Structure 1
Amino acid sequence: MRWLNDEQIPAFPFLLFILVLRWFIPPSQEKDSVGFLAVLIRAFRFVLGVSSPYRCWGGGGRGRLSLCPSGALCSSTTLREQGQEIHAAMPLLHLHLCFTSVLCWLAHESSSLVLPNATELLSPPSSTRTGPAPGAGMPRSRRRRYLSPRDMNAILDYHNQVRAQVSPPAANMEYMVWDERLARVAEAWAARCVWEHGPPQLMKYVGQNLSIHSGRYRSVVDMVRSWHHEQQHYSFPHPRECNPRCPSKCSGSVCSHYTQMVWASSNRLGCALQACSNVHVWGSTWRRAVLLVCNYAIKGNWIGEAPYKMGRPCSACPPAYGGVCSNNMCFTGLKSNQVSWF
């Protein structure tokens, strides 16, 4: 069979070689179109390397020998010989274009086994979800239902900070501690992802504050801080106004979250955090929301009563505290407990 320019590969046998090679690709590489193409390209380069030896031009002068880049011996040629070889190489260019077409056809055929898996949809095409995916913008530690010990301490410390700095000063403000039983009840209720207080049978014994947000991540302290912001709308009743019942003096839509935070005898706290896909809030649906539930014991916000007694800090502490005062609060030295609160 005639070779092109006596140095080039024959067109038809090489194409036949490629087509035959396609059926000898290992199954593992046949499933990977990239690996399959790499094998064909290596085969193409190998055949070219065997049938088309390197020619070097511009070596060390006419008739002298020099080393090719591959290390093989080759001879210098004249400009006329270079032109002849370039002209003779044109059929090889046509062969290369033909080979590229074959590769495209084979790649299309083999990749049809790969693309469906490689482009598998992570959500249904008809999904109407908008905004970030669940948990997006939230630290990994927040994508769960339990508060971390750091979160618990942050919530508790924030409450005690607010309680210690009430104005006017409190004479009977008790130091607040963490209660695991209150936290477990809050956890069970938060898991329901409902925007209402509960469970109903415990609401006569337990005070409760709720906070919810949707969108970008907020720390638990940010969620609690909104309750404290109600202070700006609350006016503490003067003792002479409490005759015998104290009036409710709130200039905003609600102040009861703040008053529960600073209710003097509410000295136990337990909270839970829950990530919810949907929460119905006053006629609207909040998607991918985070719900915080905090339970307080003893229950505060009794109608007709002030949150605390106004006076010198710790001057009216309950006898159980033994006169111990810490940071303007009646203090027993206890940081947390699991005391029954029924």
Structure 2
Amino acid sequence: MDLFFECKRNLMSCFEFVLLITSVGLCSSTINYCDRSLCGRGQHIGCNATKGFAHACGKNAEYIPMDAKLKEIILNKHNTLRAKMAQGFSGFPPAQRMPTLVWDDELATVASFNARRCKFRHDNCRNTKEFKYSGQNLAMAKFRGKAVNPDERAAFFLQKWFDEYRHCPKSIIAKFPFSYKGPQIGHFTLMMNDRVWKVGCSMVRYKSAKWTNLFFVCNYSMNNILGRPVYTGGKTASKCQTDQNAKFKGLCSTEEKI
């Protein structure tokens, strides 16, 4: 299932972005990506993958390091927004058991296989041995002129994904639809999914024609499942198996594993 959304260009900054989501999963470099048990059908994104960039990336492509600062920005933004939703926000029900997201290096590594292709599309299979139904959000910024700060842009993408709540019918929280033709909501629902407890992201910068592109990929430990709740509504954190997070009120602690 692919959901697509595109914003109009901001003429002042010569900036535009595109967002995309799919139901996917990925692997780490220690796994035999060509093992067909990971995918069933189709080729795994990591099968015969290298650490280099694809031809589409051009000569000056660069990987944006996921250093401690950028990881913290990504996790804090996710968890701040999840905590807001878990406490009840904008008419959405509170969440009984919304885990705090923690970083996963394997998810991030496999996300980089997609990012280093420099093509804004999803691969056919990215399952890991631990996460059989991994979800994914993609975003891309195209800009020229003044350089875009990757840290700021990552936070911007995450906020835009969350802002889809404005178009999300409340009923979808209780049951993700088998058929949906409304405005984009998939990024938001995946970010708020209460079966997700790990995330890993990757970012690549490359040039095409007159544009510089910033391609951002986040992989999650679970995906939206058709016919299943996005999260279970009820008294905030009432079903946490561990303590509630002291920093992100409404979320279960970082020890909560799904």
More helix by share: 1
Shift of 1:251: 7.9
After TM superposition, what 4+ stretches of structure 1 lie above 3 angstroms from structure 2? 245-252
1:226 matched to 2:160: yes
Shift of 1:172: 1.3
Pair 1:307–1:238, CA change in 2 (3 A): closer
Q: Secondary structure at the match of 1:193?
A: coil
Question: In 2, distance between residues paired with 1:172 and 1:259?
Answer: 15
Structure 1 residue corresponding to 2:138, chosen from 206, 210, 219: 210
- The residue number in structure 1 matching 2:184 is 254
Tell me the TM-score normalised to structure 2 length.
0.62
Pair 1:212–1:303, CA change in 2 (3 A): same
Shift of 1:258: 0.5
Tell me the TM-score normalised to structure 1 length.
0.48
- The residue number in structure 2 matching 1:150 is 69
Question: In 2, distance between residues paired with 1:192 and 1:300?
Answer: 22
- The residue number in structure 2 matching 1:325 is 244
Structure 1 stretch displaced more, 250-259 or 171-180? 250-259
Check conservation: 1:271, 1:292, Cα contact below 8 A: yes
CA RMSD between the two structures:
3.0
* Alpha-carbon displacement from aligned partner over 1:262-300 (angstroms, at most 9, x marks no partner): 10010000001100223xxxxxx8832000000000x22
* Alpha-carbon displacement from aligned partner over 1:77-134 (angstroms, at most 9, x marks no partner): xxxxxxxxxxxxxxxxxxxxxxxxxxxxxxxxxxxxxxxxxxxxxxxxxxxxxx9xxx
- The residue number in structure 2 matching 1:195 is 120
- Within 5 Å, give how 1:281-320 maps onto structure 2: 287-297=211-221, 299-317=222-240
- Within 5 Å, give how 1:269-280 maps onto structure 2: 269-278=199-208
- Within 5 Å, give how 1:50-61 maps onto structure 2: none
Shift of 1:306: 2.0
Q: Gaps (5+ residues) in structure 1?
A: 1-130, 132-142, 279-284
- Within 5 Å, give how 1:1-342 maps onto structure 2: 144-166=63-85, 167=89, 168-198=93-123, 200-202=125-127, 205-215=133-143, 216=146, 217-218=148-149, 219=152, 220-237=154-171, 247=177, 252-278=182-208, 287-297=211-221, 299-317=222-240, 321-322=241-242, 324-326=243-245, 327-333=249-255
Question: In 2, distance between residues paired with 1:195 and 1:291?
Answer: 8
Q: Which has the higher contact order (CA 8 A, sep 6+)?
A: 2
